[in-house]
Structure 1
Amino acid sequence: MTGAPRAQLWAERHQIVLYLVAIAVGLIVGALIPAAHELEVAISPAIGVLLYVTFLGVPFTRLADAFRDARFLTTLLLLNFVIVPVIVLALSRLVAGEAALLVGVLLVLLTPCIDYVIVFTGIAGGAHDKLIAAAPLLMIAQLLLLPVYLTVLAGPGVLEGMEIAPFLEAFVFLIVIPLLLAALTQWVAPRVRWVAAVELGAVGVMVPLMMITLFVVVASQAGLVLANLPGLATVIPIYVVFLIVMAFVGAGTSRIARLDVKSARAVTFSGATRNSLVVLPLALALPAELALVPAVVVAQTLVELIGMTIYVRVIPRLIPARRG
């Protein structure tokens, strides 16, 4: 009995180091084992299970309150769909002369994340319940606005061959189904006296689940990035700068909107994290002349995952609990 809590406390105390280890091992496996890319089929299930466990820790009575927080939702939408596109426009000019790089950067940076951002926000003490409630709005908004932004910034031809199916599938399998299963578990648990077991189990497996998810994502995608590394030399700095800029822009926007600390952290994480795993199928469906686009998208995933392990330490300091 004492061993499990002790191991759990140790894992939570060292979780950032453990996440970096998982990413490093994923990179090594992805670089050395050609078949590692086949782990891609495990990405959605891994994220789905991770989100299910995350949702178990959110009382569903709070979701209605979160959805009614008009100030939070307005700030979230403003940041992701007005401010971020302006920043992306500026950064994308660095690759404006190369179609594949431009399309890849626009495709991934214009779409806010709806899945593992919830987990990282929770680790950093942010209002992850509000991001759960906002997920449908973020999904609908990016479905409607992405074609407009791509047409304006890259030209109408880029939309040929693109479908909305990956967005809808991601929303159903990564948000709706895990959310419904978590709600069902919360409803059943008190009736069969599972409450303590469910709560303890959810907390206890969070760190291992995150490590597994990070490993699967990185190992399955590392080969694609490494194989195209020379062509990605320009976009990787763009992604790094984006993360740095968005930390301050998110915090500043939240301060102007007078959000509470947890909401401010949630907004900042949302502005920085992108929907790379969802837009990857869109990138794979592009014409042959844009064959480098999937690698451009995947490169953002790897940069972002490393960046998020830093964010969970930096953002609580940038937006401290004592802020008034």
Structure 2
Amino acid sequence: MGRLWERYQLPLYLGAAWLGAGLGLCFPGLASWGKSFLWPALAVLLLFTFLQVPFRTLRQAFRDRAFFLAGVVGNFLLVPLLVYGLLHLLPPDLGLRLGVALVLLVPCTDWFLAFSHLGRGDMAKALVLTPLNLLLQLALLPLYLLLFFGEALWAYHPDPATLVGAGLVVLLPLFLAFSLQGRPWGKALASRTASWPVPLLALVVFLVALGHAGLLAGLWGYLFLLLGVFLLYLALALGLSLFLARAFRLPAKAGRTLAFSLGTRNSFLVLPLSLAVPEAGLAPLVIVFQSLVELLGMVLFLRLVPRLF
């Protein structure tokens, strides 16, 4: 069943998005239901995703210094510079720019592993890089947003209770997953639930579309521009991966892993943050749209990356 979920991820997510949007537009009263169930669904999704992250292997992260230095430089120095440049291709809509910044600044922790495996990358390095990426993005994301938006961030007035809730939606599953991994049966649980993030993410996509269908009219005008920006990001991320692989003299499998790390972004981790800010407007839809574009892009990555590295 797990392989079936993974094989049909893209049509599943697209179908969930169209179904949620269609129901939200036809029955506007359902929007409140979508918003109400979204937070619990996100928490469950994050729990079973974090459960796949090998936190206890983090101590091994610096054994291959060249690879992990390339990963940190790529994801947390060069990619933020790239994102800063891409933001200037967008109109001065703070909600739109915030959504793009949120989703592109943070490296993925789940699709990254799946696509690294399918793209003949080094899974041992991918497994160890994942918790390092997760911890660094949680620490550095506020700094990036402050540097990129500065005083403009004060235009947003998140409800304190909602902001605390958004933080708990991320942190509680994180600590619970770490705790479960320390139990004797934790590894078996992680193995049995390895495919659960796929249908759970489809549910989250459905609920976002259902709860925010009323904002779709405002997104249509930016749809092709966003598509171009996200595709351009994928192309430039691939170019950065080639540059870093050569600069750090990485073997082919490590270079492929780096390419999937820079190409995949952590859309669902930042989704609670965008939902906590009412003034963010289009940001949640931008984040969901990026994840759909990324899935299409990864299909192309699977063909290109093994040949380029």
Taking structure 2 as the reference length, what is the TM-score of the superposition?
A: 0.74
- Indicate which of 74, 91, 97 corresponds to 2:92: 97
**Aligned-pair CA distance for 1:75:** 0.9
Corresponding residue number in structure 2 for 1:30: 20
User: What are the within-5 Å matches in structure 2 for residues 88-127 of structure 1?
Assistant: 88-127=83-122
On the 8 A contact 1:113/1:275 being kept in 2, the answer is: yes
CA distance in 2, matches of 1:33, 1:91: 33
On the 8 A contact 2:10/2:292 being kept in 1, the answer is: no
Corresponding residue number in structure 2 for 1:244: 235
CA distance in 2, matches of 1:298, 1:260: 38
**Aligned-pair CA distance for 1:179:** 4.6
**Aligned-pair CA distance for 1:78:** 0.6
CA distance in 2, matches of 1:177, 1:304: 26
Corresponding residue number in structure 2 for 1:72: 67
- Indicate which of 204, 207, 223 corresponds to 1:217: 204
Deviations 1:206-244 (A, max 9, x none): 55x354134213212224263542353333431232123
**Aligned-pair CA distance for 1:83:** 1.0
CA distance in 1, matches of 2:266, 2:106: 5
Counterpart secondary structure, 1:97: coil
Unaligned runs of 5+ in 2: 25-29
The answer to whether residue 137 in structure 2 is matched with residue 142 in structure 1 is yes
Alignment RMSD: 3.7
CA distance in 2, matches of 1:104, 1:238: 12
The answer to whether residue 304 in structure 2 is matched with residue 318 in structure 1 is yes
On the 8 A contact 1:80/1:271 being kept in 2, the answer is: yes
The answer to whether residue 11 in structure 2 is matched with residue 21 in structure 1 is yes
Unaligned runs of 5+ in 1: 1-6, 190-197
CA distance in 1, matches of 2:41, 2:270: 17
Q: In structure 2, do the counterparts of structure 1 residues 67 and 33 end up closer, same or farther at CA, with 3 Å as the change threshold?
A: farther
Corresponding residue number in structure 2 for 1:259: 250
Q: Aligned partner of 2:204: which letter?
A: V
Q: Aligned partner of 1:318: which letter?
A: L
Count, aligned residues: 291
Q: Aligned partner of 1:320: which letter?
A: P
CA distance in 2, matches of 1:165, 1:266: 34
**Aligned-pair CA distance for 1:88:** 1.1
Q: In structure 2, do the counterparts of structure 1 residues 260 and 51 end up closer, same or farther at CA, with 3 Å as the change threshold?
A: farther
Corresponding residue number in structure 2 for 1:193: none
Corresponding residue number in structure 2 for 1:184: 183
The answer to whether residue 77 in structure 2 is matched with residue 82 in structure 1 is yes
The answer to whether residue 289 in structure 2 is matched with residue 302 in structure 1 is yes
